[in-house]
Structure 1
Amino acid sequence: MKRTRARAALAATLVVAGGLTACSTASSTTDGTVTISIVEFQKSRIDSIKKVLPGFEAEMKKQGKDIKVTLVADVLTDDQFKTKLTQQLIAGEAPDVIDMGDSLVPGFAGAGYLTPLDDYLNEWDGWDHYFPQFKEAMVRQDGHIYALVHDTQVQNLFYRKDILTELGVDTSQPDTWEDLIARLVTLKEKTGGTPIVVPAGSAWGGSTWTEGFLPILGGTDTDFYSLETGKWDLESDGWAAVFDLYGELYAKDLLPVQDLENPNPWEPTKYVKFPAGEIQVAAQGTSGWKFDWGTNGAAPIPELETKVDTWQYPALQSGDKPFGWSGLGSSFAIPEKSQHKDEAMLLAQYLSSGEPLAEQLVTSGAASPRDDLADVKPYADEPKLLQAGEDLATSVYVPTGDGSEQIAQAVASATELIISGEADGAQAYAAFVEDATDLLGPNLVK
C-alpha cells in the first residue's frame, strides 16, 4: 500500500501514514486552534474522507471555529483494526472520531469506551432526517446511542433479468418463496444448473448468518432477540421456517452445493457463475452494484444495470409481504476519553450530511440512512443507490446484541449439515438449538 502525507499547502489536513499506532492528536494551541483526529482503515473511505475534510475546516472557519483535522489512515483488515483500536481505547489514546462497523459498537460501548451521543443528536437538525428504524436501531441496551450510522446496505435478491427474459421466466416481484422456488425449478430445468446462491455453511463464515439466514429470518420473525432483556428466543417461530427453506432449496438441487463448500465460496458463485449467467439469483447487499459487479468491482458485468435487477425478499409465511432487509453499516463514534468531544461531534455531523455524506456513499457503494439525499450530487447520479434509499423507507431491521457471533457460528454449522446432506431442515434446526444454547450460555437464552 502506498502511504502519503497530504501537503499543508493544499489543505490543513495531515494524513498520519503510520496508522493506528499513533495516539490521539487532539490538542489546543494558544491561538485557539483545536486539532482533532479521525481514523479510517479502508482504502475507499480514506480517499473519500481525505477529499471532504478541507470543506469541514473551511465551514468551521466560517462559523468562527478554528478546527484542524488529522486523518489517521492505514489499510487494515477488520481483525487488525479491532485489535489495535481496542488497545488504543484501553490506553485512552484513540482518535477523537472513530469510523467503525456497527458490530463493534455494542462491545466498546458496553465496556465504557464510547461517549453517549444522545444530547448531541437531539440538538442536531440532521437527526430529524434519519429513517425511524435506524434511529431506533442505534439505541443500545442501556437506552443510549453511542455511534452515528452514516451508511447502510439493503439486502435483496439480485437476479439476471437478461437471462430470465431470454428463457421466458417471469421477472416480476415474487410474492412468496413458493412462487420464487417454482421459477428456480424452471430455471434449473432450462439450464441444467443450480440457479440461486444464498450464503450457507461454514466456509462462508459469519456471512452465512448476516447475508444469508438473518435477512430471511428478520422479515418473518422479529421476536428472536429482545433488546430489553438481551436474550435470544431460540424457540421463536421463524428459526424453523428458515431452516426448512434451506432444506427445500437443497432437496430440490437449487443451491450450488459444491461451490458453497469451496474455501472461498463467494468466488465461484458471485464472481464467476453469476457474472456468467450460470447462477441467475444471488443474495447480495447494495454494495454489489459497485464492489462486486460494477466497472471497478471484483467481477464486472458489462451493461450491469440493464442485465441485473433486484427483488425484495418474498414472504416466507402466509400474510407477510415482500421486504428488503437493511443493516447498519459504518458509524462515527467518539471515545469517552476524547479531550474535544464537541469538536469531534461537529465533524461527525458534517460527515453525515449533504455533499460530504453523498461523496462517501458513492465511493463505498452504500445507501443513505437519511431521507434527504436524493437531490444531492454525486449520490443523485446513482440510480441504484437511490432505489436502495427508497427501499429503506419500508425495509426491515431487527437490532441484535451480545451473542451474535455465537448465533452466527451455530447457524453456519447447522446449514452446513443441510448442504452436506446430513440433515433436513427440522434436523438442522434441532442441531442449531442445541449448539446455540451451549455457545450462548444460560444468561443469553430466553
Structure 2
Amino acid sequence: MSWTKKTLVLLPIAAAAVVAAIWWSGELPSDLNPQQTRPTLVIAEHRTARLQALYQLQPKLEAELGVRLKIVEYPAPPQDYFTKLVTELRAGNAPDVFTVPRDLQVDDLAAAGYLANLTADVQAWPGYQQLPALVKTLTRASFDEQVYVVPSIVAVEQLYYRHDLLTAAGISTEQPKDWQDLLNRSRQIKQQMGQFPLMIPAGLTWGMGSYTEGFRYLLASFQDYQLLSTGNQYQLNDDAVRQAFGFYQTLVQEQLTPVNPLLNPEPWVIPKYEMFPKGELLITTCGSWCKVFDWGPGSRNPIANVDTSVQTWKFPSADGGEPFALASVVYAWAVNAKSRQQQLARQLVLALGEVDVALAYAVKLGNVPARLDAKEHPDFIALDSLMQDHALLTETRALRTTVGSNAMMAGVAQASEAVLTGRANALQAQQQLHDYVVNVLGAEMVEQQLAKTLPLPAALATEVEKN
C-alpha cells in the first residue's frame, strides 16, 4: 500500500482535523541591527517545563546557528497542542520547527506532507549512530521508511507499584513473570489489603491513553504479535487482540481494577493522583515521567520518599516470553516541509537532538535522552534514578503504527469502554474495534485474514469463556 502526500483526515480522539499542505513565511527584520538581521526561525513549544528548558537553551542555540529564535507558546495539554498544531499547519501559520508529541503521530503528519524528509540529514549526523535500533525505527514513517523527526527524549514505560505498602503487607515484590502471575498477585492484594490492586487505562475519556498507556502493554505481551502486518495493515483480527480484551474483562469481573473513575471526564485524576498516593491502588502502568509529575515533590499529591516507596516491574508476558519495558519517542523535533528556512531549520532540529539539549529537557520532564552516549555526559548524573530507565533503552519494545493511528486508538477507547461497562465481552470488543477502524479508515487498512483462535491463558479463561 503506497501513501503519498495527500489530504487525510486526522482523528484526534476529541476532534478531527483535515490535513493539507502549508508553509510559513519568515519574519522580516525591523532594522539593520546585527542581532535582528540574523535569520529568524519560529519554533513552537508548550508546557511550563518544556518552555523553561527551551528558554534556558535559547542563547546557546542562537549563538551556534547564527539565528534568532522566536518561541511561540502553544497550549499545554498534549491533545490541545496537537490540535492547534494541525490547525495551523492547515491554515499556513505553522512554525518552522515543532515537536510531534508521540511517535505514532508521525505517519499521519508525514503522509499529509507536513514534515520535511530528514533522512539524509539524520544519517549524516554523528548522533544517529548513538540511537538505539528501536528509536531509529520509531523516527521513520511506516509507509516509506523515511526519517521525519529527530528524537531527543524517550519515555520508558513499565508497571509502577507501591513497594513500601506491599512490603509492609508481606506481599511479594518479585517481578511477575507472566499474566497469570500478575493476576494472582493482584488477587492476593485484594484479599489481604482490601484495595484495588491494578489499573491499566481504558475507556472513552482516557482518549489515546487507553491505547498508549493501556492496551499497548497487553498487545506487546505477545512475542510474535505486531500491530502492523507485512502489508502495513492493522492486524486487529489476531487472537492477541481478543486475549488483551480478555485481560480487561477479568480485571472488571473480579473487581481487581477501579472502574467508576475510568468513566469520569478526567479518568486519570482519581486513580493516579489520589488513590495511588493513598494506597487505595497498588499497581498502575506509568512511565519515566511519573515520579516527577504524578507523585514527585511538586505534584498534586506527592508520595513521601517516592524513589523508594514507588518501584517498577517490567510488564509480564502473555505467552512465556520475558517481561519487558516499552519505549515511546516523545516530542521528537520536526521541520515544517514548507518552511522558507529549510537549511537552518534542519540544522536546528539536529542541534536539538544533541545530548546537552536532551538532558535539559529530560531532567525537567522525567524522561531519558534518546542517545546512548548520554551516559558519558558529565550532566548525566543529574537524571538520578532515571539513569536506570536509560539503561533499558536497548531492550525496550514498541508497536509500530501507520496512517490512521488516531482512528485505531479511538477504536480501542470505545471497545475498552464497552468491556468496562459490561456491554461487551472480549470477542465482542475485538469485533467492535475491527468494525470501527474499517468504518473510519476503510477495509484496505485492516488485515482481513482471520487468525487461528487460541485458548485464553488459564488465568483468564474461567470467566471470559463463559461469556
For 2:250 and 2:79, the matched residues in 1 are separated by: 35
Aligned CA distance change for structure 1 residues 295 and 143 (closer, same or farther; 3 Å): same
Aligned CA distance change for structure 1 residues 232 and 67 (closer, same or farther; 3 Å): same
Q: Is the 8 A contact 1:164 1:170 kept in 2?
A: yes
1:26 Cα offset (Å) = 5.3
Correspondence list, 1:27-176, <5 A: 33-60=38-65, 66-90=66-90, 92-102=92-102, 103-140=104-141, 141-176=143-178
Aligned CA distance change for structure 1 residues 265 and 95 (closer, same or farther; 3 Å): closer
Aligned CA distance change for structure 1 residues 187 and 396 (closer, same or farther; 3 Å): same
For 1:415 and 1:94, the matched residues in 2 are separated by: 35
**Root mean square deviation of aligned Cα:** 2.3
Q: Give the counterpart letter for 1:86 in structure 2.
A: V
Q: Give the counterpart letter for 1:246 in structure 2.
A: Y
Q: Tell me which residue corresponds to 1:413.
A: 414
Q: Is the 8 A contact 1:208 1:408 kept in 2?
A: yes
1:222 Cα offset (Å) = 5.6
For 1:430 and 1:89, the matched residues in 2 are separated by: 35
Correspondence list, 1:17-416, <5 A: 24-25=25-26, 33-60=38-65, 66-90=66-90, 92-102=92-102, 103-140=104-141, 141-220=143-222, 223-226=225-228, 229-318=231-320, 320-376=321-377, 378-416=379-417
Aligned residues: 419
Instruction: Name structure 1 gaps, 5 residues minimum.
Output: 1-21, 61-65
Worse-superposed segment, 39-48 or 284-293? 39-48
Aligned CA distance change for structure 1 residues 385 and 337 (closer, same or farther; 3 Å): same
Q: Tell me which residue corresponds to 2:443.
A: 442
Higher relative contact order (CA 8 A, sep 6+): 2
Summarize deviations over 1:185-234 as a string: whole Å, max 9, x none.
11111122221111122232221111100122023156443376331122
Q: Is the 8 A contact 2:74 2:84 kept in 1?
A: no
For 1:104 and 1:426, the matched residues in 2 are separated by: 28
Instruction: Name structure 2 gaps, 5 residues minimum.
Output: 1-22, 448-467
Summarize deviations over 1:397-429 as a string: whole Å, max 9, x none.
121022322222222222222222333323333
1:27 Cα offset (Å) = 5.8
1:50 Cα offset (Å) = 0.6
1:132 Cα offset (Å) = 0.7
For 2:301 and 2:186, the matched residues in 1 are separated by: 23
For 2:45 and 2:407, the matched residues in 1 are separated by: 28
Q: Give the counterpart letter for 1:373 in structure 2.
A: A
For 2:213 and 2:171, the matched residues in 1 are separated by: 25
Q: Give the counterpart letter for 1:200 in structure 2.
A: A
For 1:93 and 1:406, the matched residues in 2 are separated by: 26
For 1:40 and 1:406, the matched residues in 2 are separated by: 26
1:261 Cα offset (Å) = 2.2
Aligned CA distance change for structure 1 residues 83 and 307 (closer, same or farther; 3 Å): closer
Q: Give the counterpart letter for 1:89 in structure 2.
A: L
1:76 Cα offset (Å) = 4.5
1:46 Cα offset (Å) = 1.2
1:121 Cα offset (Å) = 0.8
Q: Give the counterpart letter for 1:170 in structure 2.
A: S
3-state SS of paired residue (1:157): strand
Worse-superposed segment, 94-103 or 144-153? 94-103
Q: Give the counterpart letter for 2:50 in structure 1.
A: R
For 1:234 and 1:178, the matched residues in 2 are separated by: 23
1:342 Cα offset (Å) = 2.1
Q: Is the 8 A contact 1:138 1:146 kept in 2?
A: yes
Q: Is the 8 A contact 1:26 1:96 kept in 2?
A: no
For 2:128 and 2:270, the matched residues in 1 are separated by: 42
Q: Give the counterpart letter for 2:85 in structure 1.
A: L
Worse-superposed segment, 423-432 or 299-308? 423-432
Q: Tell me which residue corresponds to 2:17.
A: none
3-state SS of paired residue (1:322): coil
Q: Give the counterpart letter for 2:256 in structure 1.
A: L
For 1:84 and 1:23, the matched residues in 2 are separated by: 15
For 2:51 and 2:176, the matched residues in 1 are separated by: 40
1:250 Cα offset (Å) = 2.0
Worse-superposed segment, 252-261 or 151-160? 252-261
TM-score by length of structure 1 reads: 0.87
For 1:81 and 1:202, the matched residues in 2 are separated by: 20
Q: Tell me which residue corresponds to 2:3.
A: none
For 2:386 and 2:392, the matched residues in 1 are separated by: 10
Summarize deviations over 1:362-384 as a string: whole Å, max 9, x none.
11211221111124354422233
For 1:83 and 1:272, the matched residues in 2 are separated by: 29
1:44 Cα offset (Å) = 1.6
For 2:386 and 2:163, the matched residues in 1 are separated by: 18
Aligned CA distance change for structure 1 residues 55 and 72 (closer, same or farther; 3 Å): same
3-state SS of paired residue (1:70): strand
Q: Tell me which residue corresponds to 1:13.
A: none
For 1:201 and 1:69, the matched residues in 2 are separated by: 40
For 1:280 and 1:190, the matched residues in 2 are separated by: 12
Summarize deviations over 1:234-290 as a string: whole Å, max 9, x none.
222311121111122222221112222233221111111100111110111111111
Q: Is the 8 A contact 2:358 2:370 kept in 1?
A: no
For 1:80 and 1:208, the matched residues in 2 are separated by: 17
3-state SS of paired residue (1:299): coil
3-state SS of paired residue (1:316): coil
TM-score by length of structure 2 reads: 0.84
Percent identity, aligned pairs only?
29
